[in-house]
Amino acid sequence: PLQCDRKRRFRVRKSLGRSRPLQLCSCTHVHQADRDTHSLAEQSYPVPREYFTRVQNHHFKDMEQYKRLYERSIQQPEEFWSDMAKQVLSWKQLWENQVCSYNFDIEKGPIFCEWFKGGKLNACYNCVDRHVEAGYGDQVAYYAEGNEESADIRSYTYRELLDSIERLASALKVRGVKKGDVVAIYMPNIPELAIAMLACARIGAVHSVVFGGFSAESLANRLIDAKSRILITCDGYRRGEKIVALKAVADAAAELARENMGYELVQHKIVYQKLDPKQNFVSMESHMDEWWHEVLSTAKPHCDIEWMDAEDALFVLYTSGSTGRPKGIVHTTGGYLLYAAITHRYAFNYHPGDVYFCTADCGWITGHSYVVYGPLVNRATQVIFEGVPTYPDATRLWKISAKYNVNQLYTAPTLIRSLMRYGEAYVKNSQRDSLTLLATVGEPINPEAWKWFSREVGENRCPIVDTWWQTETGGHMILPPPVQGFIQKPGSAGVPFFGIVPVVVNEKGEELSGECEGYLCIKKPWPGMLRTVLGDHSRMESTYFKPFRGFYMSGDGCKRDKDGYYWLTGRVDDVINVSGHRIGTAEVESALIAHGSVAEAAVVPVPHDIKGQGIYAYVTLRQGEEPSEELRKALKHAVREHIGAICTPDVIHWAPALPKTRSGKIMRRILRKIAELGPKVTPSDLGDTSTLSEPQVVELLVSYHGK
């Protein structure tokens, strides 16, 4: 059995960064909070019996039936997916003869993957129109819970949703939006964000949602990359006690885009009014800014559907990688929609009538797949939450759950850990009888948080569905199915979903069998996978298919145990996972370097009790610059301005020099170790330092710890 000591973890990282025999530890958990990680991890919990007595509807009778279907999905993928596609989606026209064609081998030709090519459908029609046509127009699609507890509560039925979508879609057309154009959306997590996405889908425009916490510069980069001429935004919103002036940021981004392109890139802004104008004055430029309510009230109430090829793009969503700027991940209409829908249906055992609540923001992939597309295809009734789980206090989520009788709750480990800190009383004070299933995403859930979630929130009667997946995968890939007879293991994401063939490979790209540890790759295509990186297909090929020939490389390390369960061990590239958000170290470094006083910067992850990982930045100043508290603040501010608040470094460590190899490469493993252990670090912790060009740098760096 693996021992969870920090030395071991260090060796793991080292071996991943360099060519050494792989030895991964199964533990990426938050060490300080989790001394008993491994003893807990060895425990296993059957999906609670009470779940089957309390919940009447189940998609699967037992694990035998589930396994048979999994086998079929692997042995006869074309038949399996063809049946699913016909059962779950409404098609204007079925696909031509082939369900799927693909190439995963870069040496044989370009990487590609196509599903249901030639089939015609529309995502908005599948999410909304058909439910209204079938007589469910009065069913609530979204209960919108705003920032304030008692005010700011709204709901949208499927018919109301359709009405707004059609009007907005007509308005977009009038403003020149055509099939294939990329429309940028920069909004808080309100139903209008979903409406904007679906209005694009209705007319075949590709939406590019930018998380409302990103800066003007980040938004501008995305506007420029996708050449978005239309931006749908909002005046501002309240987040806890704070007011976020979103329109001002959107204006600044449009201005940056204009400067960069040399012409007015953004020609229209449609601005949803969320705040009282007395609280947040926004300036509207007459030639390009329009209020959403005015646009909708004057728009044609009906808008024809654009029937799309299954392989036409549905959206682009930017995500961070280890190098360069964020990549625009492109998902297509047929495969993505099907995959989001069936994963939502089976992972959460969702049936119409259940009330489902996902706490994710639509600015991330989880919101795309599990607040918008998946649940709406399944005719779900959901809660969409704009506020923060600790405002006005830490009972907020449980109060919402009681208020709307939420059945399935989907959230993130970081949020669970932050609520754990407030203590059980906040949970106990609320009524959670309606909850039947709990689920998580974003990072490995440490067993301590798993148990707390199960015991305190779920009263030991709810399955805990820990879903592993990525922006690129479109939907869940590995999860513990909430099916009778499945044994859950806290800390493991469980087993592959239908159609998914994960493989664990070693440094050389050789597939390992049985119990093993290595890089997590996927061997066969699945409908929800990314098709390309916007404007740069070779980046898609080199990022995902070059590392190991013939496989999609996830960027995560993992361990597979004797029962075939997967244990994710975290990113193996230069991506930091802060509260479940992917942050590229290169992006933070370039934001720091952009500050005139910085000569060089290196950013590494550091374990963090609540966030999972924190951001630790080493900064070398230019000659003549002196370290100071003001400068530290200014640097943090610079990162916020360049990228957004989620990327703010937790620590800035002044570095007279950085440890480098003779060829000038920064030795990040040494930086990680110093970040993690601080002044207690010993030479033996640092492993092999013989390739350092100036070994004395290490000692100097350690001496600057905490300064």
Q: Which residues bind to ligand WTA, rule: CB under 6 A?
A: 319, 364-366, 441-444, 466-471, 493, 554-556, 568, 571, 577, 582
Alpha helices in 558-628 (DSSP H): 585-593
Residue with smaller CB distance to ligand WTA, 319 or 408: 319
Which structure tokens are listed for 353? 């009538």
Q: Which 3 state secondary structure label does DSSP give 437?
A: strand
Entry field: residues in the chain: 707
Residue with smaller CB distance to ligand WTA, 77 or 555: 555
CA atoms within 13 A on the CB side of 537: 7
**Closest separation between CB of residue 366 and ligand WTA, Å?**
5
Cβ(164)–Cβ(198) under 8 Å?
A: no
Residue with smaller CB distance to ligand WTA, 531 or 582: 582
Cβ(12)–Cβ(4) under 8 Å?
A: no
**Closest separation between CB of residue 413 and ligand WTA, Å?**
8
Respond yes or no: is residue 289 known to be catalytic.
Answer: no
**Closest separation between CB of residue 493 and ligand WTA, Å?**
5
Q: Which long-range contacts (CB under 8 A, 24 or more apart) does 10-13 make?
A: 10/669, 10/672, 10/673, 10/685, 10/687, 11/687, 12/557, 12/569, 13/669, 13/672
**Closest separation between CB of residue 321 and ligand WTA, Å?**
10
**Closest separation between CB of residue 571 and ligand WTA, Å?**
5
**Closest separation between CB of residue 382 and ligand WTA, Å?**
18
Provide the sign of the torsion angle of the four alpha carbons 86, 142, 171, 243, taken in this order. Answer: negative
Which structure tokens are listed for 150? 């008692």
* Rounded-to-10 torsion of CA 66, 67, 70, 75: -140
Alpha helices in 378-444 (DSSP H): 396-403, 413-420, 425-428
**Closest separation between CB of residue 369 and ligand WTA, Å?**
8
Residue with token string 């480098």: 660
Residue with smaller CB distance to ligand WTA, 202 or 571: 571
Q: Do strands 327-332 and 532-533 pair parallel, antiparallel, or not at all (unpaired)?
A: antiparallel
Which structure tokens are listed for 615? 């951001």
CA atoms within 13 A on the CB side of 485: 9
Q: Do strands 502-505 and 289-291 pair parallel, antiparallel, or not at all (unpaired)?
A: unpaired
Q: Which 3 state secondary structure label does DSSP give 347?
A: helix
Residue with smaller CB distance to ligand WTA, 268 or 571: 571
Which of 251, 573, 574, 609 is the catalytic position?
573
Q: Which helix (H) or strand (E) holds 257?
A: helix 246-261
Provide the sign of the torsion angle of the four alpha carbons 92, 95, 99, 101, taken in this order. Answer: negative
Residue with smaller CB distance to ligand WTA, 309 or 556: 556
Residue with smaller CB distance to ligand WTA, 270 or 568: 568
Closest Cα partner for 229 from 188, 198, 270, 192? 270
Q: Mind telling me the catalytic residues?
A: 573
